[in-house]
Amino acid sequence: MIVAIAVSSALSVLVLALALVLPSLNSPTVPFGVRVPAQRAADPTVVRQTRTYRLRVLGSGILAAGFGIVMFSVTGEPLLLPMSVLLIVGAWYGCFFLANHEIRAAKAAGGWYEGMRQGIAVDTELRTDPPRFPWLWLAPAPIIMVATVVIGAIRYPSMPTTLNLHYGANGVPDRMAAKSVAAAFSLVFVQVGITALLAFIAAAVFRSRPDLDPAHPVASARWYRRYLSLSAKALLGLAAMIDLAMLGASLLMWTGTITPWAPLVVALPILTAVVVAVVVLARNNRERADGDPDTGLTHRDDDRYWHGGLFYLNREDHALLVPRRFGLGWTLNLGNPRTAILLAGVLAIIGLLITLRFSA
Amino acid sequence: MILNVDLSSEVPLYQQLRDRIVEAIAEGVLTEGSPLPPIRALAADFGINFHTVNKAYDLLRQQGLIRLNRKTGAVVTSTIADSAFREDWTARARTLLSEAVARGLPADEVLTTCRSLLASFGTSQPEDTP
């Protein structure tokens, strides 16, 4: 129980911290997902909205966490704890949208883009001499998977006749199955699925289109290469840590261990990896234009493709992934037909994994 | 190589692309054998129409600056200026210089600008023959 509370609180703190620092991490020319010229980055409206946003996030975050704790102490239902994290995310989006709306209104009223020379910058070397994919970082995940299979095969004869497939938040098993190969190795399928998905995302990120700043294209391109490589490493590292968590959970299942800290075996490696990945990406999320002379161009105004400030929908654009304007990493181009196929595929894999796990 | 295009300029996009690539060749950023991205990839990176990039590449091919190959894609080639090119280039230079004279730029300044521009293209380019 204590473990469930600790994990949910850690997640809430992580989400809140990210929400509070994000305005300082994202590009100053895209405050709250509104594209503005560099001269307007410190406009009084932007400064005021940033302050208001932070106050709103903090207030609603404390309210949501308090609500979760009160509901939990009244009902004792551990499911309410992750719910309060979702509540914080929902409130966060509300705060973001209000700031986005205000800045968009100020931009339209003040004609911020009038007389600006809008441009597009492309680094052709990203295609003719792409950065090297960090293949070495892909190695740990398959090694952990093979280790899981080997340890499982060795231990199989000595495994208990009933396997604990799932533990409740208090560490007591709440779903069991008779010993079978499918049940014993069910988590290996999760490992394979997660690793394949994250490796695929890393590969897609490597092929994705950068959003270079036409005012400082050289520094921007240099930064993007570094960010690409870091992101791929973060994703592959996350895959390895999830696989490690699955190995830990499998060991608990195979030995029939029942302890109150069982959820920690899964949560700790994954939460650590998520925190490390977020911190690494957050520290490198903002490009620096050091020493690069200004070309006099401004990034083109592409607000009309961003719906609700967060969702990119552009049918003319052949890109599958585009850099997020508010947040870390990339987002899907919802106007691309391949996105629909991809989302359907991911849903099918998740569905398959859940069915496999429940039928086992 | 960084390709920067100005969307508010009156110069059409394909012409801007072509100009930036010619400048990169002059500056030595692109040399003989340097690959250029496939047309489709470059169009996707710019978020512009495939035909715009196709038109730019086609112009460069006609002018003998790049070679388009189904297998190797677009590659920079070296060409020797023939008499037809010399005539055509002189005519265009005449127009450009006329603009300077018409707007009252002193001849010294025009020459200094021309020299410093040529010098900025680096030493890899052949010096003008005496």
E-state strands within B37-78:
66-69, 73-76
CB atoms within 10 A of CB B108: 8
Cβ contact B6–A122 (<8 Å): no
Tens digit of each residue's pLDDT (9 = 90 or more) over A224-239? 999 999 999 999 999 9
Query: What mean pLDDT is predicted for residues A306-322?
Result: 88
Tens digit of each residue's pLDDT (9 = 90 or more) over A39-82? 899 999 999 999 999 999 999 988 888 887 788 788 877 677 77
**Residue type for position B34:** S
Give CA–CA dist A80/B130, Å, rounded.
Answer: 85
Tens digit of each residue's pLDDT (9 = 90 or more) over A136-158? 999 999 999 999 999 999 999 98
Cβ contact B47–A319 (<8 Å): yes
- The predicted pLDDT at position A19 comes to 93
Minimal Cα distance from A318: which residue of B?
B44
Q: Is the CB of residue B35 less than 8 Å from the CB of residue A130?
A: no
Q: What is the mean pLDDT of each run of 10 residues along chain B (130 residues)?
A: 92 95 92 91 88 94 89 85 91 94 93 92 53
Q: How far is CA A279 from CA A18, A86, A313, in A?
A: 9, 21, 28
Q: Is the CB of residue A45 less than 8 Å from the CB of residue A104?
A: no
CB atoms within 10 A of CB B36: 25
Q: What are phi and psi of A190, to 5 degrees?
A: -60, -45
Query: What mean pLDDT is predicted for residues A242-254?
Result: 93
Closest CA to A218 of B119, B3, B18, B22: B3
Q: Give A124's contacts in chain B (Cβ within 8 Å).
A: 1-3, 36-37, 42, 45
- The predicted pLDDT at position B54 comes to 94
Q: Is the CB of residue A92 less than 8 Å from the CB of residue A57?
A: yes
- The predicted pLDDT at position A357 comes to 66
CB pairs under 8 A between A and B: 72
Return the SS3 of A313.
coil
The answer to whether B10 contacts chain A (CB < 8 Å) is no
Q: What are phi and psi of B67, to 5 degrees?
A: -120, 130
Q: Is the CB of residue A242 less than 8 Å from the CB of residue A197?
A: no
- The predicted pLDDT at position B130 comes to 40
- The predicted pLDDT at position B52 comes to 93
- The predicted pLDDT at position A260 comes to 78
The answer to whether B84 contacts chain A (CB < 8 Å) is no
Query: Who contacts A187 (Cβ-Cβ below 8 Å, separation ≥6)?
Result: A148, A246, A247, A249, A250, A253
Q: Is the CB of residue B66 less than 8 Å from the CB of residue B57?
A: yes
β-bridge mates for residue A119, sequence order: A299, B6
Query: What mean pLDDT is predicted for residues A197-224?
Result: 91
Q: Output DSSP code: residue B130.
A: -
- The predicted pLDDT at position A318 comes to 82
Mode of pairing for the β-strands spanning A298-299 and A118-123: parallel
- The predicted pLDDT at position B123 comes to 53
Tens digit of each residue's pLDDT (9 = 90 or more) over A172-181? 777 788 888 8
d(CA A319, nearest CA chain B) in Å? 6
Closest CA to A241 of A275, A273, A267: A273
Tokens at A144, concatenated: 């952990």
- The predicted pLDDT at position A104 comes to 95
- The predicted pLDDT at position B71 comes to 77
Using CA of residue A330, residue A331, residue A336, residue A341, what is the dihedral sign?
Answer: positive
Cβ contact A122–B45 (<8 Å): yes
Q: Is the CB of residue A236 less than 8 Å from the CB of residue A137?
A: yes
Residue A334 has pLDDT above 70, yes or no: yes
- The predicted pLDDT at position B19 comes to 95
Give CA–CA dist B73/A24, Å, rounded.
Answer: 42
The complex's ipTM works out to 0.84
Largest CA distance in chain B: 51
Tens digit of each residue's pLDDT (9 = 90 or more) over A71-125? 878 887 767 777 888 889 999 999 999 999 999 999 999 999 998 999 999 999 9
The answer to whether B38 contacts chain A (CB < 8 Å) is yes
Query: What mean pLDDT is predicted for residues A15-33?
Result: 91
- The predicted pLDDT at position A243 comes to 96
CB atoms within 10 A of CB A115: 9
Confidence of residue A170 (pLDDT cuts 50, 70, 90): low
